Structures are given as C-alpha cells and as structure tokens.
C-alpha cells in the first residue's frame, strides 16, 4: 500500500511542477490527470465508512445549497474580502437567524462558504457561482430540480411502472416526481425553471461542438450527388440556426438559398425576427420532425441535440421520416454524445437525467442499433479529439 501511494504521490508532484494552468496547450489534459491522481490517492486511503459518510454530507449539502439559492442568499454576501454577519444575512433573506446559520454551517463545513470568526460568513472560491443570474448556478438548479427531486421518487416510480426503461415523454420519472404524469417536460417546466433551463442550454452550447469532426467541405465537393435544385443541407430541429452559422462559416461556398432551417413554428418565428446576417437567404421552415419530411432529396439532413431527448422508438420515427425523403446518396449527420463503455461520471449523470425524461445518452453500440432500427446504415462515427461528442454519419441501406 505505502509503495503504491508513494508512486501516486510522486506522479502527482511531477505533474503539479509542470502544470501551466488550464489555458496552456496541454493544460486541460494535465488538469484531468491531476484530478484523476488526487482521486486515486483519496480512494487509496479512505475507509468504507468514510464513503458512506461523504454521501450523507453531500446529500445534506445539496439540500442546503438548493434552498439557500432559492432564497437568493448568495446575492447578499459581499464580494471578498468583505463578509456579513449571520444576523444581517438572515434579515435580508427574511429567515430566522438560527435556521439560516444551521443551513450555512453545512456549506461552511464542506468549504462552499467561509466563516469569519464566530458570527460572520464570506464567499469561498466557488460560491459566487450561486448568485442570481450566474449560468453556473442556473445549471445547478436545473440539475437539482430535474435530477435530485426525480431521483428521490425513483423507488415509488419503478414500484408503480415496473423495472423497465422509461421511453415516453409523459408518464416518466420526471412527470411522476412532479405529480403531473400526463404532461411533458416543457409542459411542467415553466417560469423561473424554464428560464434557468434556457440559460443552461445556452451555456452548454460549447460542450457540443459543431466543427472539428465531420469535414463539412464534403458538402461543397459533392453537390453533384443530388439534383441541381435540391437542398444541400437541412438542419432538422435547428433552433435559431446556431449550428448552421458555424457550418456556413466553415463552408462559405454553400449557397444560402440551398440551405433549410427547420424547427417548430415558435422557434422559426424567432429566427426570422432575429434576422442573423449569416442566415439571410436560408429558407426558414416550420416543421415537426414527427411528421413527414417535406424537403425531398437533400444532400445532408443535419440533426444536433435532438436524439438524446428521445427514446429509440421515437428516434426511429424521426429518422424514418428523413429516410423516406432521402435521395440515394443523401447523408444524415447526427451530432450527439457517444458514451464510453463504461461511461465517466459526467456522462452517466447526464444519462440518468435523460432517463427521467424517458430518453437516454448512447454508446457506439447503441448508435449502431438505432441506425439499424431506423432502416439506415451507420457509415462512420466522426469523433471529437477533445470531447465525447461525435458526428454519426448515416446513409440509406
């Protein structure tokens, strides 16, 4: 044990000496190695009872943190190096001082906040993320409300519905947890919850890259594969065209008049009203991807951040409509996460969040299964060198 621990410590020390920060060329990879080694060292010296104790602490911390965020407590803690008394903080959030102190103590004990003396509290390194309007805090709220609240009802949900995968947008664990089993996620999530969700989705945009995987220059090089008046790219469920903008920046030779942006009417109206310069000339078409695909014979049908929202059954319907519209040489390009087997914690966590909505993240094997179920052939998975995101290329069988 001591020899193994010493070897880990030596490796960690060497990495720490050479670490230039996350913005350096090797920074992200070095950072992940450092975090991995510290976890290995921690796991090597911990005892089983300490694992159970940590889980109890984290559960209590999450509950206290979510409540204090809801009370906007972090808005009233001054910027470092200043602090605020428990009495004044309690008055500002309209809570009894002993109650507030007990909740804050949980966060102080875990290092999320810092106590000054016996009666004052100050921010710690990460706590300002939980002030109102910060997208990092919004992501925590979304994860808690769509995760922890739902997880706490899993036992009851599976007792009622059986030990089988949730696959529908209603009557799933999320709908059950909120007592609205016949409603979808967006029918349940309104007001502040919806605002937090939209903020989070915008923040996470960079985690699902568009470029750097599939070579979109292929579109320009292969226009001869479809008729002269066919669309070259149809962005299915493309929102306000965030992905299209990047694709057209990479391939400025794609004529805008041969590009189609599809989404539900509200999203398309917003895209028209926004009138982004790069998308002028692009046809903006209201379309529900569960209906027949109206654009026939396009070279590429592009789908990003859609498939993980739906079960295999529903995705097979979406892809089936596109398959029927495809020309012999058409491609479907799906940009989504491809989970490792076994997946790392972040991917597995997201997968369980999606399970609550009756959907899932997918491994490479899962993507092959889905393609086959939809009557399509998976040609290649174009992987990102930095993330688990990939472009899945499909053709007609």
Listed residue (384, 375, 383, 385) closest to 394, CA to CA: 375
* Residue position matching structure tokens 């493309």: 238
CA distance 134 to 138: 6
pLDDT band at 201 (very low <50, low <70, confident <90, very high): confident
Count the helices and strands in the chain (H runs, E runs). Answer: 17, 11
User: What is the share, in percent, of the chain residues with pLDDT greater than 70?
Assistant: 100
20 domain residue, yes or no: no
Query: Are 209 and 384 contacting, i.e. CB atoms less than 8 angstroms apart?
Result: yes
Residue 77 sits at φ, ψ, to 5 deg, of -85, 120
388 domain residue, yes or no: yes
Res 9 pLDDT > 90: no
**What is the reported pLDDT for 387?**
87
Res 206 pLDDT > 80: no
**Arithmetic mean of pLDDT, 57-78:** 98
**What is the reported pLDDT for 386?**
80
Per-residue pLDDT tens for 332-376?
A: 999 999 999 999 999 999 999 999 999 999 999 999 999 999 999
Task: Give the lowest-confidence range in 2-11, 100-109, 185-194.
Answer: 2-11
Say how many domains are in the chain.
Answer: 3
Task: Give the lowest-confidence range in 35-49, 156-170, 174-188, 232-246.
Answer: 35-49
Res 102 pLDDT > 80: yes
Query: Are 331 and 219 contacting, i.e. CB atoms less than 8 angstroms apart?
Result: no
Which residue among 130, 155, 185 closes a domain?
Answer: 130
Is there a single domain that holds both residue 228 and residue 262? Answer: yes
DSSP characters for 375-393?
TEEEEEEEE-SSSSEEEEE
* Both structure tokens of 69: 């965020």
- The count of residues in the chain is 397
State pTM to two decimals. 0.90
Q: Which 3-state string (H, E, C) describes 129-161?
A: HHCCCCHHHHHHHHHHHHHHHHHCCHHHHHHHH
Which residue among 143, 178, 205 closes a domain?
Answer: 205
Per-residue pLDDT tens for 264-273?
A: 999 999 999 9
More confident residue, 153 or 386: 153
* Residue position matching structure tokens 């070579």: 215
Is there a single domain that holds both residue 196 and residue 339? Answer: no
12 domain residue, yes or no: no
**Arithmetic mean of pLDDT, 210-237:** 97
- Output the domain CATH number for residue 356: 3.40.50.150
Query: Are 130 and 140 contacting, i.e. CB atoms less than 8 angstroms apart?
Result: yes
Task: Give the lowest-confidence range in 63-67, 77-81, 149-153, 273-277.
Answer: 273-277
Res 18 pLDDT > 90: no
Is there a single domain that holds both residue 220 and residue 167? Answer: no
Domain that holds residue 148: 135-205
CB atoms within 10 A of CB 150: 23
Give the CA count within 13 Å in the CB-facing half-sphere of 369: 8
**What is the reported pLDDT for 170?**
98
Is there a single domain that holds both residue 384 and residue 249? Answer: yes
Is there a single domain that holds both residue 355 and residue 240? Answer: yes
Residue 6: enclosing H or E segment and its boundaries? helix 2-18
**What is the reported pLDDT for 32?**
87
Which residue among 98, 130, 162 closes a domain?
Answer: 130
Is there a single domain that holds both residue 300 and residue 229? Answer: yes
Give the CA count within 13 Å in the CB-facing half-sphere of 37: 19
pLDDT band at 218 (very low <50, low <70, confident <90, very high): very high
Q: Catalytic residue positions?
A: 308
Task: Give the lowest-confidence range in 14-18, 160-164, 290-294, 381-385.
Answer: 14-18
58 domain residue, yes or no: yes
Q: At a CB cut-off of 8 Å and minimum separation 6, what does 317 contact?
A: 290
**Arithmetic mean of pLDDT, 32-39:** 90
DSSP characters for 60-78?
HHHHHHHHHHHTTGGGGSP
214 domain residue, yes or no: yes
Q: How far is CA 294 from CA 72, 231, 313, 325, 333, in A?
A: 48, 11, 21, 7, 18
pLDDT band at 248 (very low <50, low <70, confident <90, very high): very high
Is there a single domain that holds both residue 368 and residue 313? Answer: yes
Average pLDDT across the chain, whole number: 95
pLDDT band at 26 (very low <50, low <70, confident <90, very high): confident
Is there a single domain that holds both residue 360 and residue 266? Answer: yes
Per-residue pLDDT tens for 304-315?
A: 999 999 999 999
Is there a single domain that holds both residue 201 and residue 213? Answer: no
Residue 84: enclosing H or E segment and its boundaries? strand 84-85
**What is the reported pLDDT for 193?**
94
9 domain residue, yes or no: no
Is there a single domain that holds both residue 182 and residue 230? Answer: no
Per-residue pLDDT tens for 260-299?
A: 999 999 999 999 998 888 899 999 999 999 999 999 999 9
17 domain residue, yes or no: no
**What is the reported pLDDT for 202?**
81
pLDDT band at 21 (very low <50, low <70, confident <90, very high): confident
Res 204 pLDDT > 80: no
**What is the reported pLDDT for 203?**
78
7 domain residue, yes or no: no
Residue 339: enclosing H or E segment and its boundaries? strand 331-339
Is there a single domain that holds both residue 343 and residue 318? Answer: yes
**What is the reported pLDDT for 30?**
87
Is there a single domain that holds both residue 237 and residue 339? Answer: yes
Measured N-to-C along each axis, helices 135-143 and 48-70 cross at an angle, to the nearest 10 degrees, of 120
**What is the reported pLDDT for 264?**
95
**What is the reported pLDDT for 251?**
94
């Amino acid at each position: 044990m001591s020899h193994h621990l010493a070897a880990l410590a030596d490796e960690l020390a060497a990495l720490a000496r050479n670490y230039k920060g996350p913005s350096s060329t090797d920074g992200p990879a070095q950072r992940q190695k450092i975090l991995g080694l510290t976890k290995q060292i921690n796991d090597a010296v911990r005892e089983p009872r300490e694992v159970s104790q940590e889980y109890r602490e984290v559960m209590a911390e999450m509950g206290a943190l979510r409540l204090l965020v809801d009370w906007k407590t972090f808005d009233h803690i001054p910027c470092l190096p200043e602090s605020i008394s428990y009495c004044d903080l309690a008055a500002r959030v309209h809570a009894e001082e002993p109650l507030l102190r007990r909740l804050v103590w949980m966060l102080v004990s875990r290092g999320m906040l810092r106590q000054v003396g016996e009666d004052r509290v100050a921010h710690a390194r990460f706590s300002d993320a939980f002030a109102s309007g910060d997208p990092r805090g919004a992501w925590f709220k979304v994860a808690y409300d769509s995760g922890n609240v739902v997880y706490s009802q899993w036992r009851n949900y599976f007792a009622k519905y059986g030990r089988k995968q949730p696959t529908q947008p209603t009557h799933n664990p999320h709908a059950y947890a909120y007592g609205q089993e016949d409603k979808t996620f967006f029918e349940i999530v309104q007001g502040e919850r919806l605002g937090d969700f939209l903020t989070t989705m915008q923040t996470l945009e960079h985690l699902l890259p568009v470029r750097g995987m599939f070579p979109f220059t292929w579109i320009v090089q292969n226009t001869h594969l479809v008729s002269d008046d066919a669309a070259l790219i149809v962005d299915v469920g493309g929102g306000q065209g965030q992905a299209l903008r990047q694709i057209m920046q990479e391939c400025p030779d794609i004529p805008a008049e041969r590009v189609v942006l599809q989404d539900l009417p509200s999203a398309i109206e917003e895209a028209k009203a926004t009138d982004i310069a790069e998308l002028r000339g692009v046809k903006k078409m209201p379309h529900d991807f569960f209906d027949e695909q109206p654009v026939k014979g396009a070279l590429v049908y592009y789908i990003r951040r859609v498939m993980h929202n739906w079960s295999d059954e529903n995705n097979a319907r979406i892809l089936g409509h596109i398959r029927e519209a495809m020309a012999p040489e058409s491609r479907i390009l799906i940009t989504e996460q491809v989970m490792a087997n076994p997946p790392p914690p972040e991917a597995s966590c997201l997968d369980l969040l999606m399970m609550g909505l009756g959907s899932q993240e997918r491994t490479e094997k899962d993507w092959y299964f889905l393609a086959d179920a939809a009557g399509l052939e998976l040609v290649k998975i174009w992987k990102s060198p930095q993330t688990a995101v990939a472009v899945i290329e499909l053709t007609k069988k």
